[in-house]
Structure 1
Amino acid sequence: MDEPARRGRLPLPHRGIAFGGDYNPEQWPRETWAQDARLMREAGVDLVAVNVFGWAEIERSPGVYSFEELDSVMDLLHEHGIAVNLGTGTSTPPPWLTTAHPEVLPVTREGETVSPGGRQAWCPSSPVVREHALRLVRATAERYGDHPALALWHVSNELGCHNALCYCDESASAFRRWLERRYGTADALNAAWGTSFWSQRYGSFDEVLPPRLTASAENPTQLLDFRRFSSDELLEWYRAEAQVLRASTTTPVTTNFMVTAHIDTQDYWSWAPDMDVVANDHYLDHRLDDPWAELAFAADATRGLAGGAPWMLMEASHGAVNWQPRNLAKAPGELERMVLTHVARGADAVCFFQWRASRAGAERFHSALLPHAGTDSEQWRATLRLGALLDALDEVVGTRPTSDVAVVFDWQAWWAVDAGGHPTQDVRYLDEVHAMHAALRRAGVGVDVVSPDTDLSGYRLVVVPTLYLVSDEAARSVERFVVGGGHLLVTYFSGIVDENDHVRLGGYPGAFREVLGARSDEFFPLDDGESVALDDGGVGRVWTERLEPRGATVRARFTDGPVAGGAAVTRHEHGRGAAWYVATRLGTGGRDALVTDVLEGAGVRPVLPGAGGDVDVVRRDGDAGSYLFVVNHGDDAFVARAPGVDLVTGRRADAHEVPAGGVAVVREQPTGRRRPSEEAPA
């Protein structure tokens, strides 16, 4: 698909917000299918994913395909006006394949072979699996490439969710080939990996192994490169399937990302350009301190992967999931707040796992649009309400959120920070990323999540949380942004190493010393549970460092702890802009106060005055007008002073009361609105 088409509306037949989910008719008798199609139409479902796990059903013996049941399903859905997101069926090989070829099974770093019986029991580097999978993809594409129900191709499913890192001999050979393409010579690899340490020098690529279980700490650059290789290997799998599909059809191709707190194995910045549609799976994770803040971050990050274009929520849960220690059902209003948090941040399609709750299998207690209790249930009535709500919002399709603030986020920095061998194990990459994004959200401003390679010139404020690993070019881009008049906020343990995980010499924070106008010569991490006080009333945890201002102004100092009297927060005027540095992990109150100061200095206004905190507000803009999304997570009603029509209630007013736990989507009266940066004073 060409770039302009991909960056416009989602290429789906329904012109409004698409609504649906995974449909697994193979789990049900044929007489259920007609009822399913009828109930889908009643609920307003117009897009379903089919054949996601169809391999064992379609190819019951090698090379012998039986498409008749899938033919019936495709025809039935088309008759009911329901479009299909058609899976290639390759996500899990059938038992006959793993029985005939046990060498395709993945191997853990401890050397244990993973058995089939779950899902994704295959090595991403296995040529045997790839050969069989592509043969199935080719047969499926030839069968359904011109079917009128087909709206989207769904390659595999959640690639890398369980098998991203394989340490088998086949993976070792593929890793060596990847390294040879990256470095060219063993000498270049030795330089990048720092193999003079611990007598690790390699004489040829043939001597290199994956980072299997070792007697001591592993080589950190080897670990980092294995992560890069593993992400690239799965991307090549996607590309191989997509190439087969595109050879016989013009239907858009995608796969479902997992931009979430508990999956870190793919560098999706490198994957996104290959997607005709960017799609994400996301589930509220109640193991986190603030699941709603993580959901908002994931949605903003998915929009970043789409380059600001519309994207689709491929999977979410109607109620409880089945894979957390305690699977909490959604309270009244939670479903609507979850969905509108995604839609506010650019999702033009909302789909669920799954349509009908399974009777058997590992996910039988995972919620669904149609629950075990059937249509005489509150879950089904919630499905009907949700379908009506999304229909009421159809006109927002094609509009986009805009922001003057960006948070820089990088999967490779995540890998490097969390690999270990650092001054403290308590610095975890996502902790600071999520905390800074949440503070900006509480301040009521819109946020873009961008890669380190993004052109930053369109923003007023860029936040760089714990970007431990950064390339020279990305660091220069940050400095150009500040010199050109931008405002920058960098937090501790940033700029420390280059892309090979080699420490930048001359003092910390390495790549950002000049732009920040400050230098540290030693880290002083805090003990578990220890905290330090700041003279502005704030509290720091986890981290301190001996920071010397070199042009920067000290805005807060430590009053106790290992560097008492030293700088904790600094601000440096650099070029036409300003750069802040935070040398500790601030508590929520201190972080919020700092973000407020930085936003004010950068001239960034809230999306809606008076919002923020528990009231999440996002504006989507388009040529025809703007829409204000208000998601009230608080215990009190909120009055949104925004003249216009609330699409949720149909009410026109100058101000809209959004009840506790409620939502509103206001079609704003035309006011000649521009981006916040164009309204704010210079």
Structure 2
Amino acid sequence: MIIVDKSIPGEAFQLGVCYYPEQWPEQMWDDDYKRMRDIGFSIVRMGEFAWNFFEPEEGVFAFDLFDRAINLAYQHGLKVILGTPTATPPAWMTHKYPEILNVTSDGVQYQHGMRRHYNYSSPVYRNYCAKITEAMAVHYADHPGVVGWQIDNELNCEVNVFYSEADHAAFRAWLKEKYGSLDVLNQAWGTVFWNQSYSDWGQVHLPRTTPSNSANPHQTLDEKRFISDNTISFARLQAEILRKLAPQQWVTTNGMFGHLDNHAMTDELLDFFSHDSYPNFATLWNDAGRENPLMDRISSNQLAKVRSVSPNFCIMEQQSGPGGWVNKIAQSSPKPGQMRLWTYQSVAHGADMLLYFRWRTATFGTEIYWHGINDYHNQPNRRVAEAADISRELAKIGVAIAGSRYVSEVAILQDYDNEWDGEFDLWHGPLTKESLYSWAKSLQFNHIPYDYLYLKDTSALDDLIQYKVLIYPHPAIMSEETAELLKQYVAGGGKLLFGARTGYKDKRGHCRMSPFPGPVADLCGVTVEDFTLIVNEKSTPNIRWTDGGNEAGTPADLFNDILRPANEKVETLAVFDGDYYAGKPALTRNPYGSGEAYYYGAAFSREVADALIVRLGIKPALQDWAELPPEVEVAIREKQNRRFAFLLNYSDHPVQARLLRGTEDMLEGVRLAAGELNLPPYGVKVLELE
């Protein structure tokens, strides 16, 4: 469910940079701030790794260094976002209280020397976090230069599992509240299997090392739920202090990492959500071996997830140079224009505040290769010049686009239970990963904007009916309540697509003793009469379209549900074209009320998604305005009947689009006539659709 009031306040775009005054000689600050203002920056973030400067020894607080840094920034017209420094506990603390450190599942304790090496459950650590947050809030609550707070830094980054003694104890307390008794817990976890039943709460732990490195799957699902709730509890400790003591300053946190329900955290604690965007990571971890890889434009898919938390969000860290640590991660430098492209990628997807990471590359420490706008030498370079160009452009259009909302008629449904369960369950997790990527690629290359919509217990029909098409690839866990909500959506005229392995588990992760796809069987109008995992590409059958489509040789990837229509109204759109189930239905369409439900008995591929887009009648966002090449992504933002189209060329060569009618080029401030429109390598256009 989109919470419309969890967005950035303000009527103008804010552009800024992350700054670390504690890392630089004080005589450099004035020149740094002056040059920030010359570029056009208006906001800086600082303090998130500086606990030793705020509390150099236990119980002794010192604010002199940051007072001078913040006062000087304010004198230069810069607003300040302060980070609570709890991502890096000081050495005096970890030395005196080693129980605050995190522990691996094998029982090995992490040591001081990095960041995020603590656990959320330690009462000692929580006490110190509360004290430092309170001291900072009291000191800076009325400072006119401090506009907001970032809680911690990148919760669950680096490590998102926790096994200290305090975590095991907190897990037991969480389970007692959730289940009430060991009898109910044993039933939920199915502990009668392999004689795992518990007779005393002291026997219950988070998953630990076992033979074959396996664990109880229901225990591991609850582990992820607990970690999320525990992380939110840790953030709540700080948020409540900031709300009480600094009520005039907003509160956010940054990053989108695993085992954390960012939607619940934002709904309950934050004014808006912030994200850290590093598109160059895609060059390391993406699908460079595939045909037409998304590469850095896959970050648009992540930004769509961010937008599902806050429609208008902050990019607290936007990549401005190559990234890298001394001992791992090594990225190539962004090409000329890519920094600008990535900035507009974030803006196109809903960012109304953006800060580059970082002002100047560090000359010491683990991140001496995580480059900022300025190089070590502090002399002019192309990234500084590019930042200044971006700043001038955003100053020109910022008031117009601030507060505008991304527009889409298509949404991909997700939920945290299936996301977390799929990490451990190889019978549906890999399918979801493949299908999400395939749909992202297909929708992007077909110039169709899309949202992510996370389903939760509070989701309502109003959240769904704003979309004409919903795609829910592989919801193995499906509650009766969610099934009923989806039926209401389709009955009202919506189109809904499922993939293989839908609906066979309940909320506990138990497999239902009913035909697949469980509680949505009547919605889909099919029964899964047989199924098989596809163990290698050579054994993957193709599908054959039965409705006259000429898409030949389309593989039915990863897993096959062999379908049996339950009534004569169900239309078979494609059949399997291989193996023992050749000729059996692979893709069906069932009319339900005023809408349609589709079931595809495999993981979605790019080819299948492309074919379904045609059959669903989904049109490109600019079909009446422009013809675009596949290298270009399109995003639409809308406010008060004004519509803005962002055109982003991700390729290293110029491309040509065709305008079908005249429009305003907002960045150039000129009128464009119908006809050819050239976008240079990594080029950007922002057009107003009149």
Q: TM-score, normalised by structure 2?
A: 0.91
The structure-2 alpha-carbon separation of the partners of 1:407 and 1:638, relative to structure 1 and needing over 3 Å to count, comes to same
Distance 1:513 1:532 in 2: 24
Distance 2:101 2:543 in 1: 54
Query: In the alignment, which residue of structure 2 is the partner of 1:594?
Result: 612
TM superposition shift of 1:491 = 1.5
Confirm or deny: 8 A CA contact 2:337 2:681 kept in the other structure: no
The structure-2 alpha-carbon separation of the partners of 1:572 and 1:257, relative to structure 1 and needing over 3 Å to count, comes to farther
SS of the counterpart of 2:556?
A: strand
Distance 2:118 2:580 in 1: 50
Confirm or deny: 8 A CA contact 1:150 1:251 kept in the other structure: no
AA aligned to 2:673 is D
Distance 1:596 1:375 in 2: 53
Distance 1:608 1:557 in 2: 37
- Corresponding position: 1:401 with 2:410: no
- Corresponding position: 1:471 with 2:479: yes
AA aligned to 1:288 is N
Query: In the alignment, which residue of structure 1 is the partner of 2:44?
Result: 48
Distance 1:576 1:99 in 2: 65
Distance 2:620 2:28 in 1: 58
SS of the counterpart of 2:573?
A: strand
Query: In the alignment, which residue of structure 2 is the partner of 1:283?
Result: 278
TM superposition shift of 1:396 = 0.7
User: Which moves more between the two structures, 143-152 or 181-190?
Assistant: 181-190
SS of the counterpart of 2:559?
A: coil
Query: In the alignment, which residue of structure 1 is the partner of 2:524?
Result: 516
Distance 2:366 2:679 in 1: 39
Post-superposition Cα deviations, 1:361-384, rounded to whole Å, max 9, x if no partner, equal 111111212222433211221221
- Corresponding position: 1:368 with 2:372: yes
Confirm or deny: 8 A CA contact 1:409 1:451 kept in the other structure: yes
TM superposition shift of 1:40 = 0.5
RMSD across aligned positions (CA): 2.1
TM superposition shift of 1:101 = 0.7
Query: In the alignment, which residue of structure 2 is the partner of 1:672?
Result: none
Query: In the alignment, which residue of structure 1 is the partner of 2:689?
Result: 668
Distance 2:205 2:260 in 1: 21
TM superposition shift of 1:609 = 4.9
Query: In the alignment, which residue of structure 2 is the partner of 1:491?
Result: 499
Query: Which residue among 495, 509, 515 is the counterpart of 1:507?
Result: 515
Query: Which residue among 314, 319, 322 is the counterpart of 2:321?
Result: 319
How many pairs does the alignment contain?
655
SS of the counterpart of 2:682?
A: coil
TM superposition shift of 1:654 = 3.2
The structure-2 alpha-carbon separation of the partners of 1:509 and 1:642, relative to structure 1 and needing over 3 Å to count, comes to farther
Query: In the alignment, which residue of structure 2 is the partner of 1:24?
Result: 20
SS of the counterpart of 2:533?
A: coil
Post-superposition Cα deviations, 1:613-637, rounded to whole Å, max 9, x if no partner, equal 3221111111152211111224422
Distance 2:73 2:503 in 1: 53
Query: Which residue among 429, 434, 437 is the counterpart of 1:431?
Result: 434
SS of the counterpart of 1:488?
A: strand
Post-superposition Cα deviations, 1:2-33, rounded to whole Å, max 9, x if no partner, equal x88x456x235xx4211112211101110111
Confirm or deny: 8 A CA contact 2:576 2:586 kept in the other structure: yes
Confirm or deny: 8 A CA contact 2:422 2:428 kept in the other structure: no
The structure-2 alpha-carbon separation of the partners of 1:585 and 1:430, relative to structure 1 and needing over 3 Å to count, comes to closer
SS of the counterpart of 2:129?
A: helix
Query: In the alignment, which residue of structure 2 is the partner of 1:239?
Result: 236
Query: In the alignment, which residue of structure 2 is the partner of 1:573?
Result: 591
Distance 1:607 1:231 in 2: 44
- Corresponding position: 1:345 with 2:349: yes
Query: In the alignment, which residue of structure 2 is the partner of 1:678?
Result: none
Q: How does 1:63-212 map to 2 (within 5 A)?
A: 63-212=59-208
Query: In the alignment, which residue of structure 2 is the partner of 1:390?
Result: 394
Query: Which residue among 247, 263, 269 is the counterpart of 1:269?
Result: 263
Confirm or deny: 8 A CA contact 2:324 2:370 kept in the other structure: yes
The structure-2 alpha-carbon separation of the partners of 1:599 and 1:269, relative to structure 1 and needing over 3 Å to count, comes to farther
AA aligned to 1:318 is S
Confirm or deny: 8 A CA contact 2:6 2:273 kept in the other structure: no
TM superposition shift of 1:132 = 0.9
- Corresponding position: 1:645 with 2:643: no
Query: In the alignment, which residue of structure 2 is the partner of 1:417?
Result: 422
TM superposition shift of 1:304 = 1.0
Distance 2:659 2:13 in 1: 24
The structure-2 alpha-carbon separation of the partners of 1:11 and 1:604, relative to structure 1 and needing over 3 Å to count, comes to closer
AA aligned to 1:330 is P
The structure-2 alpha-carbon separation of the partners of 1:622 and 1:493, relative to structure 1 and needing over 3 Å to count, comes to same
Post-superposition Cα deviations, 1:56-91, rounded to whole Å, max 9, x if no partner, equal 122111011111010001101101111111111121
The structure-2 alpha-carbon separation of the partners of 1:294 and 1:607, relative to structure 1 and needing over 3 Å to count, comes to farther
AA aligned to 1:279 is S
Post-superposition Cα deviations, 1:29-55, rounded to whole Å, max 9, x if no partner, equal 101111110111011111111101110
- Corresponding position: 1:378 with 2:376: no
Query: Which residue among 533, 541, 549 is the counterpart of 2:542?
Result: 533
Distance 1:397 1:275 in 2: 20
TM superposition shift of 1:99 = 0.3
Distance 2:170 2:639 in 1: 46
Confirm or deny: 8 A CA contact 1:465 1:490 kept in the other structure: yes
SS of the counterpart of 1:113?
A: coil
TM superposition shift of 1:333 = 2.3
Distance 2:603 2:579 in 1: 14
Confirm or deny: 8 A CA contact 1:642 1:668 kept in the other structure: no
TM superposition shift of 1:403 = 1.8
Q: How does 1:5-20 map to 2 (within 5 A)?
A: 6-7=5-6, 10-11=8-9, 15-20=11-16
TM superposition shift of 1:418 = 1.9
Post-superposition Cα deviations, 1:315-336, rounded to whole Å, max 9, x if no partner, equal 1211211156441221222222
Post-superposition Cα deviations, 1:154-199, rounded to whole Å, max 9, x if no partner, equal 1111111134321121111100110111111212211211111111
Distance 2:578 2:505 in 1: 29
SS of the counterpart of 2:347?
A: helix
TM superposition shift of 1:544 = 1.3
Distance 1:60 1:319 in 2: 32
Confirm or deny: 8 A CA contact 2:629 2:656 kept in the other structure: no
Confirm or deny: 8 A CA contact 1:264 1:411 kept in the other structure: no
AA aligned to 2:563 is L
AA aligned to 2:421 is A
Distance 1:658 1:317 in 2: 22
Confirm or deny: 8 A CA contact 2:574 2:587 kept in the other structure: yes
The structure-2 alpha-carbon separation of the partners of 1:457 and 1:167, relative to structure 1 and needing over 3 Å to count, comes to same
SS of the counterpart of 2:544?
A: coil
Distance 2:260 2:650 in 1: 31
TM superposition shift of 1:528 = 2.6
Post-superposition Cα deviations, 1:99-155, rounded to whole Å, max 9, x if no partner, equal 001111111111111111000111110111111111111110111101011111111
Query: In the alignment, which residue of structure 2 is the partner of 1:673?
Result: none
AA aligned to 1:651 is V
Unmatched tracts of structure 1, length 5 or more: 670-682
TM superposition shift of 1:438 = 2.6
| Identity across matched positions, percent | 27
The structure-2 alpha-carbon separation of the partners of 1:298 and 1:251, relative to structure 1 and needing over 3 Å to count, comes to farther
Unmatched tracts of structure 2, length 5 or more: 288-293, 546-551
Confirm or deny: 8 A CA contact 1:544 1:563 kept in the other structure: no
Query: In the alignment, which residue of structure 2 is the partner of 1:675?
Result: none
Distance 1:338 1:517 in 2: 44
TM superposition shift of 1:266 = 1.1
User: Which moves more between the two structures, 321-330 or 103-112?
Assistant: 321-330
AA aligned to 1:320 is P
The structure-2 alpha-carbon separation of the partners of 1:603 and 1:196, relative to structure 1 and needing over 3 Å to count, comes to farther
TM superposition shift of 1:483 = 1.0
User: Which moves more between the two structures, 20-29 or 280-289?
Assistant: 280-289
